[in-house]
């Protein structure tokens, strides 16, 4: 996949953008929505990020989300189904120039992916030194692979897996 990789300094407006967009998404997804969460690097103040708002939505029945595809499409989202993660419904939104602006990850409440994403975010918030390390890694990868999104993602993989393990232990108080 050939896609420009751009990471930028944290923007305080990302929090507001999450708040307003998550309300629109919840409206499109209807009464099954239990909670919405700001995840991904834009949810971690002080670190560089791709300027894409990641929204995690917990629902009562992930299968029922499929009936909301049309409403999400009217809201500007493309429905991608599970898109490589069993039990997830994934939606993405681009601006008028084709640049990604939002990603919505919908999981049934209780799915282990919900806990993993929230634990990673909370661990980063509680450990700014590790968040800075992640920020530095992302900046280096974006410089090394400015036109190769897959190489950028692959370069983060080992770090994310390592932090996921530390974060899970941290969450359990170990």
Q: What is the pLDDT of residues 114-161, one digit of tens each?
A: 999 999 999 999 999 999 999 999 999 999 999 999 999 999 999 999
- Is 84 domain-assigned? yes
Per-residue pLDDT, 3? 65
Question: Which secondary-structure segment (H or E) carries 13?
Answer: helix 13-29
- Is 8 domain-assigned? no
Per-residue pLDDT, 84? 95
Per-residue pLDDT, 43? 98
- Is 44 domain-assigned? yes
- The mean per-residue pLDDT over the stretch 25-48 comes to 97
Q: What is the pLDDT of residues 86-111, one digit of tens each?
A: 999 999 999 999 999 999 999 999 99
- Is 112 domain-assigned? yes
Q: What number of other Cβ atoms are within 10 A of residue 27's Cβ? A: 11
Q: What is the pLDDT of residues 64-77, one digit of tens each?
A: 999 999 999 999 99
| Structural domain for 96, as ranges | 13-171
CATH number at residue 140: 3.30.460.10
As a whole number of angstroms, the distance between CA 71 and CA 156 comes to 33
- Is 109 domain-assigned? yes
- The mean per-residue pLDDT over the stretch 156-174 comes to 95
Per-residue pLDDT, 4? 82
As a whole number of angstroms, the distance between CA 166 and CA 7 comes to 25
Strand order in the sheet with 53-59: 33-39, 53-59, 100-108, 88-94, 77-79
Please count the structural domains in the chain.
1
Question: Which secondary-structure segment (H or E) carries 170?
Answer: helix 149-171
- Is 4 domain-assigned? no
- Is 3 domain-assigned? no
- Is 34 domain-assigned? yes
Two structure tokens written together for 33:
């929505």
């Amino acid at each position: 996949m050939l896609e420009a990789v751009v990471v930028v300094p944290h923007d305080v407006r990302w929090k507001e953008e999450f708040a307003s967009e998550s309300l629109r998404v919840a409206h499109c997804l209807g009464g099954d929505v239990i909670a919405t969460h700001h995840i991904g690097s834009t949810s971690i103040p002080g670190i560089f990020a791709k300027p894409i708002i990641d929204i995690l939505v917990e629902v009562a029945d992930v299968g029922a989300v499929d009936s909301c595809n049309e409403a999400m499409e009217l809201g500007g989202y493309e429905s991608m189904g599970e898109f490589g993660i069993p039990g997830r419904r994934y939606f993405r939104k681009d601006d008028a120039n084709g640049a990604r602006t939002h990603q919505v990850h919908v999981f049934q409440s209780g799915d282990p992916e919900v806990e993993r994403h929230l634990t990673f975010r909370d661990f980063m918030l509680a450990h700014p030194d590790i968040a800075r390390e992640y920020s530095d890694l992302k900046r280096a990868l974006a410089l090394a692979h400015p036109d190769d999104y897959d190489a950028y993602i692959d370069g983060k993989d080992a770090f994310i897996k390592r932090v996921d393990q530390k974060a899970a232990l941290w969450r359990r108080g170990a």
